[in-house]
Structure 1
Amino acid sequence: MDVTETRVPGAFVFTPKLISDERGAFFEAFRAEEVEAVTGQPFRPAQINYSMSRRNTLRGLHGVAVPPGQTKYVTCVRGALRDIVVDLRVGSPTFGAYHVNLLDAESGRSVYIPEGVAHGFLSLTDDACICYVVSTRYVPGTQIDINPLDPVLALPWGFSEKPLMSEKDANAPGVHSAIDSGSLAEWQKTLSPTDGGP
C-alpha cells in the first residue's frame, strides 16, 4: 500500500498496489495491522455498511459523537465519488480544514477517517457504491449531521447542477450551530495517550 496523510491530521489515503493480468486485477484492500501502524490507533472492524447512489447524489457531512466515537475506512467499490473529509474537532489546530479525494473502483483507493472528522461525498457515476468499514456498531442517537453546503465550510463539491440530497442532510445544521449545541467532538478527547490525549 502507498499511504499519504491528508491535510486533515489523522486522516490518511491508502492506495493499493494492483496486480493485473489478462483475467483482470487483484489487490489487497485492507489490513488492520497496517492501518494501525500508520495511524497509531487500534482499528478492529465492528460493522460494515454499504450505500448505493445515483449520479450527482450528495451524502453527508456525517460523523459520530464521542463517545462512543467511530473511525471509518471508506472505499468506493463501484463507480466513482468525490469524497471529502473535514476536521470538525473543536480545539483542533486545523479545525475546518478539508481534504478532497477521488475514490473509484478501478484504483481501490481508500480513506481512513479518525474520530471527530466528518465525511461526505458526491457520486460521479450512476449506481456508485461505497463501503464503510467502521470501528463501532451503529448506536441510535449518536449520529452527527452537518450541512454539506454550509457556506462557512465552503467545500468544493464541484457539482454543475443541484445535487440530490436527503431531507435530513439538506436541513442539517451548519458548523456554528453544531458548535453551539456542543455536539462536535473535542480535539483532546480524540487523541490517543501517546498524542497527549487523556
Structure 2
Amino acid sequence: MEFIPLELPEVVLMTPRRFRDDRGWFEETWSRRRMEDAGLALDFVQDNQSLSEPKGTLRGLHFQAPPFAQAKLVRCVAGAILDVAVDIRSGSPTYGRWVSAELTAENGAQLLVPRGFAHGFVTLMPNTAVCYKVDNFYDKASEGGIRFDDPDLAIDWGIDNSAAVLSEKDRILPSFAELDPVF
C-alpha cells in the first residue's frame, strides 16, 4: 500500500497494490499492520456504504463533534467521486483550507480523513457506491456540517454548484463563518 500525504499532510491518499491475473485483480484495502507501520494507528469500529444514483449527488460537508469525532477511510467501489476534506481545527495553521482527491472504482485510491476535518464528496458518474470506515460511532447530537458552496471555502467541486443534487439536510447547513469552534 502506498501512503501519500496531501497538501494538508494529515489527510492521506492511500492506494492499495493490485495483483492482476487473467481473472481480474485482488487488493488488500485495509490492514491494521500496514496502517500502524505508516504511523496511522486507527481503531475502526463501523463500516458505512452509500449509493448515489444521479451524477452530481453531493453529500456533505459533514463532521462529528467531540467526543464523537470520527476519522474516516473513504473509498469508491463503483463509479467515481471527488472527495473533499476541510480543516476545521481552530488554531490550526491550515484552518479553513481544503484538499480533494478523485477516488474511483478503477484507481482503487482511498482517502484518510482525520478527526477535526469536515468531509464531503460529489459523484462524477451515475450509480456511484462509496464505502467508508469510521473510528467512532455515530451520535446524532454530535453531527455538524458546513454548506458545500460556502464562498469563504470556495471549494471547486468540478460541477456547476446549482446542479448539485442535495439532501434537504445538506441544503440548509450553515456557512463556515457561522461555525462555532468545534475542535
- TM-score, normalised to structure 1, is 0.87
Deviation at 1:137, TM superposition (A): 1.3
C-alpha contact 2:68 2:138 (8 A) present in aligned 1: no
C-alpha contact 1:72 1:132 (8 A) present in aligned 2: yes
Q: Measure the CA separation in 2 of the matches of 1:8 and 1:144.
A: 21
- Output one character per residue of 1:2-37: Cα deviation in whole Å (capped at 9) or x when no partner: 110011231100011111121111111111232233
Deviation at 1:131, TM superposition (A): 0.4
Q: Measure the CA separation in 2 of the matches of 1:99 and 1:107.
A: 18
Name the counterpart of 1:52. Answer: 51
Name the counterpart of 1:75. Answer: 75
Sort the Cα spacing of 1:41 and 1:2 in 2 relative to 1 into closer, same or farther, 3 A: closer
2:16 is aligned with what amino acid?
Answer: P
Name the counterpart of 1:195. Answer: none
1:167 is aligned with what amino acid?
Answer: E
Name the counterpart of 1:172. Answer: 173
Deviation at 1:112, TM superposition (A): 0.7
Name the counterpart of 1:89. Answer: 89
> Equivalent residue of 2:177, what SS?
helix
Name the counterpart of 1:135. Answer: 135
Q: Measure the CA separation in 1 of the matches of 2:116 and 2:66.
A: 7
Q: Measure the CA separation in 2 of the matches of 1:36 and 1:178.
A: 33
- Output one character per residue of 1:98-150: Cα deviation in whole Å (capped at 9) or x when no partner: 11101001121101111011111110111101101011111121111111100
2:159 is aligned with what amino acid?
Answer: F
- TM-score, normalised to structure 2, is 0.94
Q: Measure the CA separation in 1 of the matches of 2:37 and 2:64.
A: 23
Q: Measure the CA separation in 1 of the matches of 2:3 and 2:112.
A: 10
C-alpha contact 1:52 1:128 (8 A) present in aligned 2: yes
- In structure 1, list runs of 5 or more residues that go unmatched: 186-198
Name the counterpart of 2:163. Answer: 162
Higher share in strand: 2
Name the counterpart of 1:36. Answer: 36
Higher share in helix: 1
Cα RMSD between the aligned structures? 1.3
Q: Measure the CA separation in 1 of the matches of 2:36 and 2:115.
A: 14
Sort the Cα spacing of 1:58 and 1:143 in 2 relative to 1 into closer, same or farther, 3 A: same
Structure 1 runs, 4 residues or longer, greater than 4 Å off: none
- In structure 2, list runs of 5 or more residues that go unmatched: none
